[in-house]
Amino acid sequence: RLHAPLAIRSQRYPTRGLVRSAAARVRAVRMVEATFKAVPDRPNFPTEEENTLKYWKEIDAFQESLRQSKGKPPYVFYDGPPFATGLPHYGHILAGTIKDVVTRHAHQRGYHVERRFGWDCHGVPVEGIIDEKLKIRGRADVLKIGIDKYNEECRSIVQLYTKEWREIVERFGRWIDFDNDYKTMDLNYMESIWWAFKQLYDKGMVYRAFRVMAYSTALATPLSNFEVSQNYKEVPDPSIIVQFARKDKEKAFILAWTTTPWTLPSNLGLCVHPELKYLRVKNKASGDEWLVGKDRWQWVLSSIKKQEKDFDTLEELPGAKLVGIPYEPLFPYFKEKAHDKAWHIVSDGYVSTAAGTCIVHQAPAFGEDDYRICVKHGIIQKDGAGMVNPVDENGCFNDEVTDFKGQHVKTADQGIKDMLKSRGQLVFNGTEVHNYPHCWRSDTPLIYKAISAWFIKVEDIRDKLVQNNNATHWVPSFVKEKRFHNWLVEARDWCVSRSRYWGAPLPLWVSDDFEEVVCIGSVAELEKYAGRKITDLHRHLIDDITIPSKMGKGKLRRVEEVFDCWFESGSMPYCCKHYPFENKEEFENNFPAQFIAEGLDQTRGWFYTLMVLSTHIFDRPPFQNLIVNGLVLAGDGKKMSKRLKNYPDPKLMCDRYGADAVRMYMCNSPVVRAEPLKFKEDGVKEVVKDVFLPWYNAYRFLVLETTRFEKDGGKFGADASKVKKSANYMDKWINAETHNLIRFVRDEMDGYRLYTVVGALTKLLDNLTNWYVRLNRDRMRGNAGPEEASTALCTLYEVLLNLTVLLAPVTPFITELIYLNLARALPDGHALKAASVHFVMVPEHDPQVLDVEILTAVQRMQSVVELGRTTRERKKVGLKTPLKKLILYNKNEGFMKDIKNLESYVKEELNVMALEYKSGTTDIFLSANLNFPLLGKKLGGDMKKVIEAVKKLSQEELIKFEKEGSIVVEGHQLDKETLLLTRGVKDLDNPDLVANWDAESMVILDFTPDEDLSRMAVARDVANRVQRLRKEAELLPDDAVDMWAEVVPTKGNAKLEDAMKLKSQYVDELLRRRLWNGSLRQGHELIVKQEDFEVHGGVLRVFITVTGPFFNSKEISKLVGGDAAAELGVRQYLQSFALDRLADLCEKGPLKAKIADKTYELKYRTHFALGPGDAPWLK
């Protein structure tokens, strides 16, 4: 047994049934060199991917592809730069995969596609790591160690994980140039940033202003409005009502509401709406008088748990009459500092009745509207004079707020409330859950803070932004048309400065009073003032440079701020080329990009800054086409979290299933339509099981059957013309489907619709593996003759080859594996032959083979088969059980003609003995039922009336409804969701006749029990058991073995014996080879595998043996004259030869065996044969 597989492999010969002698067949095995390399039956995709990576490295595949495409039309792609201070996650892998698919396809369409990786090197992600390392808590700590040392610490960790990034990106099959990457911290890149900024400055688009900005206290810097929009969270905050004592009246107070108690020490005014109504009410118990908005009085009462009867209403008056009323501040910290106009009631139309008391407390240092209103009423000046701003850059109170100095403002909320309560100034103390902005980097709550900052005008170019956006193509389009468009329409001026250290410095040198400003736009320009060579533009290396004033203001010094890192990444298209200092013509000829892609979160990030800067500088959009992907979430729908470990590690997925499986899983999901993907390992696993393994098995089947064909004396060669000339219906169909797919993929990729492309590719794979291969297996095995086998194999080859080329961008590894073997059949110089599938151009589709009639016919056949399969499933009768007939109802003559042409496939697929066609539909009736869950509330009291009316609908009315999709019943419009149609057959009361239907056809399967069909079912089980035993023995289809079966005498084996006796030929047909009666075994055979199976109450014993000499006992006995010893000697003599040697000797004539003193002449196919299948006496 241990040596049996070797014996089998050394004695393979092709299928029996060919006219040639067995000797010729065996010799052919030795002489023919197979076109294809043998492939394992159980592939390890991760291991094969690792081998492919080594192969790509050996041939320098990516760079070689660029060398081959040099001189072709450029396809421009921009890759947004990630930070290398963290490891890549599924979001990066997804975006990288989309970019890789599109750019690989562009290469295959005849473009030269430069793909450079980039790194975002500046900003908070880097500084945050250093702050933690050096225990930096604020600006003072940075200045203490020195900006130079701080920045150099930052530089040292910028590329912390670049090695890991490269490993992961390359492991997932992405081709991109890491060796020629760009970095935002490089001198050339930063110089181009300065050039871009100077363009804006020279156009008057840069200004400095004192504004209230969203401010991150964790980062000690303001944020732009689009950064603020990226991270809102539902959080609880204080909800308090406080009373301000009026100065003009005793025991009189003004009620104001706030969710930010920490802003109350900085209060400078109270604002009412000039037209809203306000009440003066008096508390009957305390005698205190309150001013409060009429529209919010009931809310105040419910909050403080009082009733109207507890108060007297003294007066109702408009807000305009309250203006000017003075009041005492809650805290005394700024009584000597504030302007005389502070602490009075003012008015403005922004006050609403949506919340609070209709009286809004004003702290101009911490609210945009507060600032505007206080400037408007002269409480503070536009330059900030008169403002109180007691919060430092880290969000802590300074020494002016003596009671809470050093406390972070959010921490101080509780102490402030306690103090107000102790003074009787806290009327209500509650909590409110609301949507509040958080820092997108540190995840801490933002505050709003008045600061001076540098801005780029955006509001002035809103129309241009919208116009340029309209000129771009987004997938999906709704992100462009809604989310992005709405953002552009409301675009605000961009705060481009950051109070940080590690970043590209703003190139502005100013006088002390900011009246004189010089903007530097190049290194050369700066060197004129510096008097030295500039090799680095970071602030610690240039901040010492001064510029002489032309206005007599002494020396101009550089402002302290650095650029918002979004400006750096948004100017990437020209900065990575060092434009305009280098590559000027190249950039200008190839701008804008044909393609970019990132996640949905970049709508208000990179996409926005690209568009703003490109519109300002070039007056055109920065890209033509954009794919927006959704977010990749954990399987439970939550954000992926390393701490929670709620998602599988990407490397683990590669090791288990391979990168291709992850790529296809993501590309064939809603995430490429900007919808979220709940990442599940089972989804990746299913890709391997449902797509890769069937695909690989179809490829392996081609290799096996081609090898068998060549061993039979044929020579396989790729021949597309043979496929095109084929008269076989299924050949024409799968060829048409393939060229239809080629056309579709080209068109859809031109539209950047990945979500349609991958689905179509997998659909063809399904048609190939589950329909074409299964229905043409016998043809490819030669059962219809060598010419038909050759044509079918060529067809399968052409489909697999084209599919491999089309799928290469999506699954670069498995396609390379399959292609390198398939390419062996292509002649040198063939358009599809190359050293890698990724060097092959996508073929053009052949319109001549797009036979719509054949495509329609097979689709119709498939629909009938699917109806039959579903019917079997409902009846719980498997496909192994043959059925008498299928009755098909369809009134379309063309439909019936198509099914008749493909009847043999329907019968084979559904295992039915006959098809019966009925074109008349008089036997079929429609019935309608209301969808009560949907209609319950809609119909109300008319329900019974509508039910009765539906029962009375005629067949004509129902047919019309089925066609049109709507009908009015008792005044109610019903559609196909609310009125459900079912079909039935008149007088179909036989439980063995089961109907099923779709919009076009009805099928009835006849499940009536039949003795002969029952035998066939047993025969199918027998064939299934034998095939299983062959699989366990790890046999190949052409292994030289014989199979035997016998019924073991047991009780209850009558059914099995009956089937084996009467349906042995049917078993052979199912096995596509002979199953010999076990009683014919002669005892000398070498057993490969033996097993007993229980089949329908009986026991079947199955043997698989190595093919060897098979003896004609009657003729040998006659030859030796009944001498038993001589007969044994003859048998042993023949068994001493290997099968191929014995076959050679047979060709030379009779064998002469000398036994004792006698010589016997042994004639091939008279006295012996090469296995039972070669024995004419058994035929």
> In 482-590, at which residue ranges do the beta strands (DSSP E only) sit?
494-495, 497-498, 508-510, 517-519, 546-548, 555-558, 562-563
Query: Is 343 assigned a catalytic role?
Result: no
Catalytic residue (choose from 606, 695, 997, 1044) = 606
> Which of 622, 603, 808 is closest to 103 using CA atoms?
808
Q: HSE on the CB side for 301, CA within 13 Å?
A: 16
For the sheet containing 221-222, what is the strand order? 221-222, 206-216, 447-456, 494-495
CA distance to 26, 36, 1173, per residue, from 711 (Å): 9, 12, 18
Question: Do residues 507 and 534 lie in contact, with contact meaning Cβ atoms separated by under 8 Å?
Answer: no
CA terminus-to-terminus distance, the chain: 30
Residue 1139, Cβ density class (10 Å: 0-12 exposed, 13-18 middle, ≥19 buried): buried
> How far is 915 from 888, CA to CA, in rounded Å?
7
Which of 314, 310, 307, 303 has the alpha carbon at shortest distance from 278?
Answer: 314
**882 contacts 1017 by C-beta, under 8 angstroms:** yes
* The one catalytic residue among 482, 528, 639, 1158: 639
- Tell me if 798 sits within 8 A of 767, measured CB to CB: no
Taking alpha carbons only, the member of 1050, 1066, 1053 closest to residue 1012 is 1066
CB-CB contact of 988 with 1032 (8 Å):
no
- What b/e readout covers 619-638, taking b as 16+ CB neighbours within 10 angstroms? eebbbebbbbbbbbbbbeee
- Cis peptide leading into 592, omega within 30 of 0? yes
Selected catalytic residue, list 14, 43, 81, 843: 81
**Has 144 been annotated as catalytic?**
no
Which residues lie across from 316 on neighbouring strands?
A: 279
DSSP reduced 3-state for 431: strand
**Rounded-to-integer distance, Cα 806 and Cα 964, Å:** 40
The residue annotated as part of the active site, out of 329, 487, 602, 1174, is: 602
Note if 594 is an active site residue: no
Distances (CA, A) of 1025 to 1074, 1093, 1094: 14, 7, 9
Q: How far apart, in whole angstroms, are the C-alpha atoms of residue 764 and residue 804? A: 12
CA distance 556 to 553: 8
Question: From the candidates 79, 120, 186, 1140, which is the catalytic residue?
Answer: 120
Which of 566, 695, 733, 997 is catalytic? The answer is: 566
Tokens describing residue 372: 């505007």
- Provide Rg for the chain, Cα atoms: 42
Residue 639 among the catalytic residues: yes
The residue annotated as part of the active site, out of 37, 163, 528, 642, is 642
Catalytic residue check, 566 = yes
- Non-local (6+) Cβ contacts of 177 within 8 A are 62, 114, 115, 116, 117
Give the ranges where 516-556 is alpha helix by DSSP (H): 523-530, 539-542
Residue 1031's closest CA among 1086, 1137, 1080, 1104? Answer: 1104
Q: Do the Cβ atoms of 815 and 837 come closer than 8 Å?
A: yes
Tokens representing residue 945 in the block:
């009336």
568 phi and psi angles, rounded to 5 deg: -65, -45
Q: How many other C-beta atoms can be found within 10 angstroms of the C-beta atom of residue 595? A: 22
Query: Element (H or E) spanning 283, and its range?
Result: strand 277-283
Within its chain, how far is the Cα of 557 from the centroid? 50
C-alpha to C-alpha distance for 582 and 617, rounded to whole angstroms: 17
CB 284 within 8 A of CB 245: no
Q: Which helix (H) or strand (E) holds 1066?
A: helix 1064-1071
Active site residue ranges:
81, 120, 566, 602, 606, 639, 642
